Amino acid sequence: MKRLDWNVLDEQARRTALARPAQLRADALRQSVEQIIATVRERGDEALFEFSAKYDRCVLEAIEVTEAEFAAAEAALDPALKAAIHEAAARIEIFHRATAPQPVAVETAGGVRVERVLRAVARVGLYVPAGSAPLPSTALMLGVPALIAGCREVVLCSPARADGRCDEAVLYVARITGVHKVFKLGGAQAIAAMAYGTASVPKCDKLFGPGNAWVTEAKLQVSADPEGAAIDMPAGPSEVLVIADEAANPVFVAADLLSQAEHGPDSQVILLSPSYAMLDRVAGEVERQCAELPRCAIALQALAQSRLIAVDSLEQAVEVSNRYAPEHLILQVAEPRALLDGIDSAGSIFLGAWTPESVGDYCSGSNHVLPTYGYARSYSGVSVASFQKQITVQELSAEGLRAIGPCAAILAAAEQLEAHRRAVTLRLEALDQMVLNQSVLDRTVSERLT
């Protein structure tokens, strides 16, 4: 890992220090993804079979997972793993139900009622990676909030292995979270299929889930096309930034850095500390622990893009972290909550020595599908709200229109939108006429009675 001192770097060097590994929008990648999407749109299922053979190295007999495959997957799973899946799902559900948006109805003036009602996105597509390793945890993080939101149809795509089957744990999670259809598809072709639809894969309204550079590029392209599909967020490779003081445990810090580095060669990890001794101890621990990992070669590639950065203080570390806007932020300091208020850009924050990022990945209850590559400056992680639309409703009585109509008419006139103004004033005039007519009627009745 490269060693740097933040306070001796000029502005250009600081930008370089916090730069992510170059990826995503390279011309060759963009053009290749464009071609995959165009081919899927033109040739549908036929193209999906061909791309599966080419990229996933498997010859599929069918794209959709069958009931027999679901049953075989459940039978093959270790009972301890199934129990852990249910345990994690329960905590994810507790948190996501508690944080789900709620309907709102308020009276903003007498006779003026404004509401917010919730409607689920009708058909959603979930992408669960399985490149170097399957991720059933991602199926949980997407399937549980989709179930709570009440989406009418939930479609899931995950790459097949060489034997033509999806990971058993991914299939089990799909079944217990109410996913309606699962397809053995990966990469940009899976995104294209869910965005535009084929004979087998339903066209989805919104797509969710992390992926490699090809998947991310495909999501960006289909979301820019009015005929495509919306997406949860832009995202890139996994990343973590750790802030550690002199009291932090270097063994824990190194383990947290490596837990992200092992995701893939384009992952990035950064450590900020005001303690040079801590930086030295963590560097040694990273080297020692990495040598023991089965995915050591992958982690080493990621570490080549990573940084150990000395800062003057924890306050400066927070400033640097906000500038980087990490997917995961770990505060390994004596008083982590003292720094929390200063953090304004992070996907998910982990406080203290006993909170490894891994629990957020699996079973604390929060969601691990988070904005990366700096998008935490403006995006949030996946939640129930991601699967819902929030629709506003307003209802005015005659008294309500009398109360706020003049305000609307004045503002419309200021914007020179005469039709807007008249939509209000014509109604106000009609109300005045109704009052006048009623007054005449009342006077006539009174005269007759006398």
218-230, pLDDT tens digit by residue? 999 999 999 999 9
CATH of 2-21+236-363 among 1.10.3720.10, 3.10.50.40, 3.40.50.1980, 3.40.50.720: 3.40.50.1980
Strands (E) in 234-293, as ranges, are 239-244, 268-273
Distance of alpha carbon 98 from alpha carbon 115, whole angstroms: 21
Q: Is 127 annotated as a binding residue?
A: yes
Q: How confident is the model at residue 98 (pLDDT cuts 50, 70, 90)?
A: very high
Q: Is 180 annotated as a binding residue?
A: no
Q: Kindly list the catalytic residues.
A: 327-328
Q: Rounded to the nearest 5 degrees, what angle is found at the Cα of 264, between the Cα atoms of 259 and 269?
A: 50
The pTM for the full model equals 0.92
Q: What's the mean pLDDT in 107-111?
A: 97
CATH of 398-449 among 1.20.5, 3.30.450, 1.10.10, 1.10.3470: 1.20.5
Higher pLDDT: 169 or 22? It is: 169
Q: Is 178 left (phi over 0), alpha (psi -120 to 50) or beta?
A: left
Q: Is 322 annotated as a binding residue?
A: no
Q: Is 420 annotated as a binding residue?
A: yes
Domains 2-21+236-363 and 27-98+115-233 are alike in CATH topology = yes
Identify whether the C-beta of residue 386 lies closer than 8 Å to the C-beta of residue 412: no
Q: What's the mean pLDDT in 195-201?
A: 98
What integer pLDDT is reported at residue 23 of this predicted model?
A: 53
Measured from the Cβ of residue 392, the count of other Cβ atoms closer than 10 Å reads 9
Q: Is 415 annotated as a binding residue?
A: yes
CATH of 27-98+115-233 among 3.40.50.1980, 3.90.960.10, 3.40.50.970, 3.40.50.300: 3.40.50.1980
Q: How confident is the model at residue 22 (pLDDT cuts 50, 70, 90)?
A: low
Q: How confident is the model at residue 133 (pLDDT cuts 50, 70, 90)?
A: confident
Three-state secondary-structure class, residue 280: helix
State phi, psi for 369 to the nearest 5 degrees. Answer: -90, 100
What integer pLDDT is reported at residue 212 of this predicted model?
A: 85
Residue 59 CB burial class (10 angstroms; 0-12, 13-18, ≥19): exposed
Q: Is residue 179's pLDDT more than 60?
A: yes
Distance of alpha carbon 203 from alpha carbon 193, whole angstroms: 7
What integer pLDDT is reported at residue 237 of this predicted model?
A: 81
Q: Is 139 left (phi over 0), alpha (psi -120 to 50) or beta?
A: alpha
Q: Is residue 81's pLDDT more than 80?
A: yes
Q: Is 328 annotated as a binding residue?
A: yes
- On average, the pLDDT of the chain sits at 95
Strands (E) in 245-293, as ranges, are 268-273
- Non-local (6+) Cβ contacts of 166 within 8 A are 65, 69, 73, 130, 134, 158, 159, 160, 182, 184
What integer pLDDT is reported at residue 24 of this predicted model?
A: 44
What integer pLDDT is reported at residue 25 of this predicted model?
A: 54
329-379, pLDDT tens digit by residue? 999 999 999 999 999 999 999 999 999 999 999 999 999 999 998 999 999
What integer pLDDT is reported at residue 439 of this predicted model?
A: 79
Distance of alpha carbon 246 from alpha carbon 448, whole angstroms: 96
Q: How confident is the model at residue 45 (pLDDT cuts 50, 70, 90)?
A: very high
Share of the chain above pLDDT 90, in %: 88
Give residue limits of the domains in the chain: 2-21+236-363, 27-98+115-233, 398-449
What integer pLDDT is reported at residue 264 of this predicted model?
A: 87
What integer pLDDT is reported at residue 438 of this predicted model?
A: 83
Q: Is 260 annotated as a binding residue?
A: yes
269-319, pLDDT tens digit by residue? 999 999 999 999 999 999 999 999 999 999 999 999 899 999 999 999 999
Distance of alpha carbon 145 from alpha carbon 151, whole angstroms: 9
Sign (positive/negative) of CA torsion 368, 369, 374, 377? Answer: negative
